Amino acid sequence: MTRESLDLPSPTFGLPVRPAPSPTRVEWRSQDRTFVLSVVNFGLACCSVEFLAAVQGRAEAMAAGTIDARARHAGVVTDDGPRTSIEVLVISGTCTDALAPAVKVLYDQMPEPKRVVSFGACSNTGGPYWDSYSVTKGIDQMIPVDVYVPGCPPRPEALLGALGELMRDHDDQRGSVTP
Amino acid sequence: MTRPDGVPAQGPVVSPRVHGVIALVEENCTSCMLCARECPDWCLYIESHTETVPATTPGGRDRSTHVLDRFAIDFSLCMYCGICIEVCPFDALHWSPESDYSEGSLLDLTHERTRLSGWRATPAADGPSDVREPPDPVSGS
Amino acid sequence: MSALVRAVREVFADDVDDLLDVATDFGSTTIHVDSGRWTDSLEALAAAGATYFDFLTAYDELENGFCVIAHLSTPDASDHVLLRTLLARDLPAIATATSVYRGAAWHERETHEMFGIDFIGNDHLEPLLLPDGFSGTPLRKDFVLASRVVKDWPGAKEPGESQEPTTSRRRNLPPGVPQGWLREESTPPNAGSRHDKA
């Protein structure tokens, strides 16, 4: 039996139906190449709102879709170089033990190379729910985390800083991305 | 404005009292433990010891004073409620608007006192931590 | 007196002792009934117009037992009451509200899971929210939160101390943590918490 045949109210409450969230694509211009970051937000609680604020304008460079990290190499002018894709998973919000398997599945299904950003105190350590019976004390218990962003919630701009932290090695070593 | 590692400007200018990170004014801290006891997250660690200060005048008494050995806040756990700032009787803690200090390791998010003191530079460190606008005058109704 | 309260009073006309209390505070009426008359009360309220079932839950009153509460309202929200009853702490059980309000099934399932209260007549008290394999009833006040036990309270130290006191003098206790949760004073301080390493 479908929802329509039951004559239930629309779950969108009359708002226009949005498609499933697609990754936010950010081009990261490094010294000798361009990394295309496909940033997926797994929004579990309130920190997710800060992620949305970041990609919709608060973090200007991120919203614009291009981050030029070449400025740190003074005097070096390069073209954009070869393009490499990296999948970035951002866990924003409180992860409960009941939901933890879903986080693991999402991570496992992402293609390599992939990186994980833990966004906010809850996904870092459990945060305010550090003594809770039902909250996972940090998503790093299930999946490897590359960058931890502090805050409750973190400011939107902190997401940009987290990407900087994530890409630091690639900028420093002109390195190739290893899975 | 550019970050130290070359990432360009962060976006809008924020109020200097935004809840970004907690700064420590070490010389104001008396190791009284009030903040560590009030912290609902148990994320504030203080260690101190007692030293005797000899009397400065002949016939005066020696005083004992607490000396801070360790002051650390675990920002991986902190919920940024500001209770520690509110409860401090000597304004040894205040907000700084810096929000960009993510780390690759959870342990690095525990800021020891040198790093906490370093956050003093960013806000208006000369004012007390809880400057508020004066309340509106009551209208004569 | 509202129509809902009058309806309940009529039901208890012959057994006034079972109607334990009717109190109105801040515009909200609470009716406290004997747990044996739970279904009677619900039926009376539904018949008197409180056909909108808002929620059912419980709270822990420690040695007094568990309070089960149901909030019921008229569909136009013109009148509403909180129906309350007290259950014994050992073997808390009460008749199901689903015979009157079908929507109570989900709430009873959750209350059973969180408090271990049995709802007689509701045959579908399956776990709802907690992860598979979870044991215990976490919203009871005697449910020990392991994190609070494992981690040392940083506020236990006195000014001038760098270690928790090992002497037998009375220790400061963290606010909000029941006595008896924390480890005995004989255990060495600073054992085990991952956040103390740094």
Confidence of residue A135 (pLDDT cuts 50, 70, 90): very high
pLDDT at C182 over 80: no
Peptide bond into A153 cis (omega under 30): yes
Confidence of residue A70 (pLDDT cuts 50, 70, 90): low
**A161: nearest CB among B41, B100, B105:** B100
Chain C residue nearest residue B108, CA to CA: C198
C80-89 mean pLDDT? 93
For chain C, what is the total number of helices (H) and then of strands (E)? Answer: 4, 7
Within 8 A of B47 by CB-CB distance, chain C residues are: 157, 161-162
Domain limits, chain C: 3-120, 144-156+166-198
- Write out the two tokens for B132: 């508020």
- Judge contact between A138 and B106, C-beta under 8 A: yes
Per-residue pLDDT at A69:
67
C-beta atoms of B70 and C162 within 8 A: yes
Chain C residue nearest residue B67, CA to CA: C160
B neighbours by CB contacts (3+ pairs under 8 Å): A, C
Give the DSSP letter of residue B65.
Answer: E
Cα A96 to Cα A57, A99, A135, C129, C141: the distances in Å are 30, 5, 4, 10, 21
What is B21-53+62-121's CATH topology?
A: Alpha-Beta Plaits (3.30.70)
Quote the minimal CA–CA distance from A127 to chain C in Å.
12
- Write out the two tokens for B8: 């360009």
The residues in A 46-75 lying below 8 A from C, measured between CB atoms, are: none
Of residues A25, A67, A53, A41, the one with CA closest to residue A154 = A53
Within 8 A of C162 by CB-CB distance, chain B residues are: 47-49, 69-70
Give residues with Cβ within 8 angstroms of C2, minimum separation 6. Answer: C29, C79, C81
Dihedral, CA of residue B86, residue B88, residue B93 and residue B94, to nearest 10: 30
C-beta atoms of A58 and B76 within 8 A: no
CB atoms within 10 A of CB B122: 15
Rounded Cα distance, C66 and C63, in Å? 9
What is C3-120's CATH topology?
A: Beta Polymerase; domain 2 (3.30.460)
Give residues with Cβ within 8 angstroms of A167, minimum separation 6. Answer: A28, A30, A35, A69
Quote the minimal CA–CA distance from C184 to chain B in Å.
19
Confidence of residue C171 (pLDDT cuts 50, 70, 90): low
- B25-67 pLDDT, tens digit each: 888 899 999 999 999 999 999 999 888 888 888 888 888 888 8
Rounded Cα distance, C171 and C174, in Å? 10
Per-residue pLDDT at C25:
83
**B7: nearest CB among A121, A154, A160:** A160
CB-count exposure of residue C120 (10 Å: 0-12, 13-18, 19+): exposed
Per-residue pLDDT at A150:
94
For chain B, what is the total number of helices (H) and then of strands (E)? Answer: 3, 5
Domain limits, chain A: 21-174
Dihedral, CA of residue C127, residue C128, residue C130 and residue C135, to nearest 10: -10
- Judge contact between A81 and B16, C-beta under 8 A: no
Rounded Cα distance, A83 and A25, in Å? 13
In percent, the amount of chain A with pLDDT more than 70 equals 70
pLDDT at A80 over 80: no
CATH of domain A21-174: 3.40.50.12280
Give residues with Cβ within 8 angstroms of A52, minimum separation 6. Answer: A41, A43
Cα B26 to Cα B46, B72, C64, C171: the distances in Å are 12, 11, 49, 27
C-beta atoms of C147 and A131 within 8 A: yes
Per-residue pLDDT at C135:
87
C-beta atoms of B49 and C196 within 8 A: no
Domain limits, chain B: 21-53+62-121
